[in-house]
Structure 1
Amino acid sequence: MISIKKYAAIDIGSNAMRLLITNIVEQKGKDTQFNKSELVRVPIRLGQDAFTVGEITPENIDRMIDAMDAFKLIIKVYKVERYKACATSAMREAYNNKEVVHIIKEKTGIEIDIIDGKQEAAIIASSDLHNLIATDKTYLYVDVGGGSTEFSLFSDGKMVVSKSFKNGTVRLINNMVNEVVWEEIEKWIKQHCEPYENITLIGSGGNINKIFKLSGKQQEKPLSYMYLNSQYQYLSSLTYEQRIAELGLNTDRADVIIPATRIYLNAMKWSGARQIYVPKIGLSDGIVKAMYYGKI
């Protein structure tokens, strides 16, 4: 006999909002399975507000309300028994974040938890990585968002250290990341990776997922540094319009994919990694697992 639970996670990021619905399959004597049932993404770029004017604008608050109403209906249709909404970098930095949380709760009934960078990194790290992380290898897990990037180092099957930096794609396209931040990231990666040999990157985030999809590779195969660098050069040679028309990128993906690729490339260079694996996991997957195991 199997038991199936339906959980949902709402990830309120700096570049988009996502709803993930997951079927959790329990079977006696076997590992619990977390099977994605539905993923809905809406391109509300909250970071454009928070990082440039310091607040979430009334227009985007209205769009958030509409998105949350839609998510709530989908959750109802799927008969989800538990869900949680978490907001990251953009909402962390907006000075009217408490007001926005109150309005969303009042209008839609959905309560939003604003999580800090350390919590975000821990939740992401609790994603379903055990199939990738071999106990005899060392991995640097890199999750690139719109407002921040989370780095987690794994060795011997366990997380050694993690850190969140205010370096994300929406910040980069608005020229809001100075060289000091890049230097801090470089120093942190080199310091923590130096004791280990043969480090491999694990990349998560919508941009690296898109690059992997364009590569046509099978899910369990990695991308090489040379391939990623060649894609970076190719994408940089195209105009914003060409990336949309010729590659089929979404309008809110076509601008941020280049700075995202730059972050992954630098992480590979500074850690000495020659390969990057791209599992389809992220914050929303981590939220579902954290709920299931009683961590949030």
Structure 2
Amino acid sequence: MVFAAIDIGSNAMRLLFCRVYTVDGKPHFSKEELIRMPIRLGEDVFLHGTISDAKADRLITALKGFAELIKAYGVEAHRAVATSAMRDAKNGAEIIARVKAEAGLIVEIIDGKNEAALVFSNHIEELLNPKHAYLYIDVGGGSTELTLYYDNKVIAAKSFNIGTVRMLLEKVEKDEWDEMKSWLKRNTVGIHPLSAIGSGGNINKIFKMSGKKETKHLSYDKVKNIYDMLCSYTYQERVERLDLKPDRADVIIPAAKIFLTVMKNADIEKVFVPQVGLSDGLVHQMYDTFKKAKTTVKS
């Protein structure tokens, strides 16, 4: 069966088609298609507090296309969510209403807590050492979600208004950085060994740039080296010489800075990069709902 997930972020929006099938009694999730559109809603919201008509029109046009693809795919279920930029926009609810009327899609505006929970729905910790503790770090355009997993349960989770687009626009307050650092030190004290699990397009790209194929983690020093290398290039050089997409070439530097800041303040030496994100979490939740409904019908 195939599920479709739409993630409307502050930098880009994504449509994921994911096929789920059973292997040895366990569900296996296979990404079939991922379509990404660099709308960058946060550019309007973090500067002016609202989404402009031009950006709203682009968003709705893209979502109309997404809706047609979902119909053509014949998915089992689909779900669409919007995060930081949409929840901060004064006209967010108005645009969501337009999306429903014009594209036929229901979009949920989710808060930071739900965003973190969706990322955590990927259950990647099941593939790692259960004796260790892990900190999920999901870096987006408008916010960073942190989820601390220890002793087989979530013991702390918080969303911070520190995102790559906010940083580019110089709209992250010093108090927000201080609060995140304080939260990290307070919640991770005495927890060793602690590793990170990185989520988001930027850490996925940094992982690919590292050249690693077999191991699924990057050391703090490796991330720092790539960060320094990226900073040594101009924006244009990052696009032309490093072959980064124009809307990736600018945000990748603040993203690396966020990861380095979190890892340093939580005393983390390595970050695993399973290349999953919010849209993958949506698929996991839809599958779990489908499975429960099927079990209920049988009983």
Q: TM-score, normalised by structure 2?
A: 0.94
Shift of 1:177: 0.8
Residues 23-102 of structure 1 aligned to structure 2 (within 5 Å): 23-26=19-22, 30-102=25-97
Residues 88 and 115 of structure 1 are in contact (CA less than 8 Å); yes or no, is this contact kept in structure 2?
yes
Q: Deviations over 1:26-72 (max 9, x none)?
A: 36x61111111110000000000111111111111111111111111
> Does 2:225 correspond to 1:230?
yes
Question: Corresponding residue for 2:197?
Answer: 202
Question: Corresponding residue for 2:127?
Answer: 132
Question: Corresponding residue for 2:14?
Answer: 18
Question: Corresponding residue for 2:235?
Answer: 240
Q: Which runs of 5+ in 2 are unaligned?
A: 291-299
Q: Deviations over 1:161-203 (max 9, x none)?
A: 1100000000000001121111100000111110211211111
> Does 2:212 correspond to 1:217?
yes
Structure 1 range deviating more: 269-278 or 212-221? 212-221
Residues 146 and 159 of structure 2 are in contact (CA less than 8 Å); yes or no, is this contact kept in structure 1?
yes
Residue 32 of structure 1 aligns to a residue whose secondary structure is strand
Structure with greater helix share of residues: 2
Distance, in Å, in 1 between the alignment partners of 2:18 and 2:172 is: 35
Counterpart AA for 1:150: E
Distance, in Å, in 2 between the alignment partners of 1:219 and 1:257 is: 23
Structure 1 range deviating more: 124-133 or 199-208? 124-133
Shift of 1:138: 0.7
Residues 210 and 226 of structure 2 are in contact (CA less than 8 Å); yes or no, is this contact kept in structure 1?
no
Distance, in Å, in 2 between the alignment partners of 1:21 and 1:205 is: 17
Q: Decide whether aligned partners of structure 1 residues 74 and 55 sit closer, same or farther in structure 2, where only a CA change above 3 A counts.
A: same
Question: Corresponding residue for 1:275?
Answer: 270
Q: Choose which of 154, 158, 183 in structure 2 pairs with 1:159.
A: 154
Distance, in Å, in 2 between the alignment partners of 1:57 and 1:18 is: 20
Residue 22 of structure 2 aligns to a residue whose secondary structure is strand
Question: Corresponding residue for 1:108?
Answer: 103
Distance, in Å, in 1 between the alignment partners of 2:273 and 2:238 is: 21
Counterpart AA for 1:196: I
Q: Deviations over 1:86-111 (max 9, x none)?
A: 00000000000111011111111001
Question: Corresponding residue for 2:295?
Answer: none
Question: Corresponding residue for 1:173?
Answer: 168
Runs (4+) of structure 1 moved beyond 3 Å?
130-133
Shift of 1:76: 2.1
Counterpart AA for 1:224: S
Question: Corresponding residue for 1:184?
Answer: 179
Question: Corresponding residue for 1:8?
Answer: 4
Shift of 1:77: 2.3
Distance, in Å, in 2 between the alignment partners of 1:26 and 1:82 is: 17
Shift of 1:221: 2.8
Counterpart AA for 1:286: G
Identity of aligned residues (%): 47
Counterpart AA for 2:70: I
Distance, in Å, in 2 between the alignment partners of 1:236 and 1:119 is: 33
Residues 142 and 204 of structure 1 are in contact (CA less than 8 Å); yes or no, is this contact kept in structure 2?
yes
Shift of 1:294: 2.5
- Supply the RMSD in Å over aligned alpha carbons: 1.3
Q: How many residues were matched structurally? A: 290
Structure 1 range deviating more: 253-262 or 286-295? 286-295
Shift of 1:123: 0.9
Q: Which runs of 5+ in 1 are unaligned?
A: none
Residue 253 of structure 1 aligns to a residue whose secondary structure is helix
Counterpart AA for 2:206: I
